[in-house]
């Protein structure tokens, strides 16, 4: 599984952010709660499915209610489309603070991880 580092634009001027080819075994990226994920499906006719599965319960159990897990995020990206996912709550972080994602097929797919410079 590949780990992708976030790009953090430092100015208000438009910049070209780097994209990496999707890895067939999946990807991980650091998540601060502001992190965005950009997925581009460059295939001319096939859709691609991305799945992001939460790791932690969003609300722990108490005497009145059981723990409630966040839902998996599943996006079916049409051919020649670019989708943006996020930001992701901490429920999607593993113990290292990273979010994991998988693809139905990594062919013709690129990803960008963006950490907006929001104050």
pLDDT tens across 35-88, in order?
A: 999 999 999 999 999 999 988 767 677 888 887 778 899 999 999 999 999 999
pLDDT over 60 at 10, yes or no: no
Burial 85-118 (b: 16+ CB within 10 A, else e): bbebeebbbeeeebbbbbbeebebbbbbbbbeee
Domains and CATH numbers, the chain: 2-9+20-58+69-114 (2.60.290)
Q: What is the predicted pLDDT for the residue at 62?
A: 80
Asked if residue 96 lies in contact with residue 81, where contact means CB atoms within 8 angstroms, the answer is: no
């Amino acid at each position: 599984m590949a780990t992708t580092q976030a790009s953090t634009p430092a100015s208000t001027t438009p910049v070209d952010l780097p994209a990496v080819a999707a890895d067939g075994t999946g990807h991980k990226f650091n998540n601060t709660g502001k992190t965005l994920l950009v997925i581009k499906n460059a295939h001319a006719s096939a859709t691609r499915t991305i799945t992001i599965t939460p790791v932690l319960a969003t609300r722990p159990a108490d005497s009145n209610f059981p723990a409630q897990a966040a839902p998996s995020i599943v996006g079916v990206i049409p051919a020649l489309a670019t989708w943006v996912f996020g930001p992701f709550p901490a429920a999607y972080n593993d113990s290292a603070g990273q979010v994991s994602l998988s693809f139905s097929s990594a062919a013709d797919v690129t990803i960008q991880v963006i950490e907006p410079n929001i104050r």
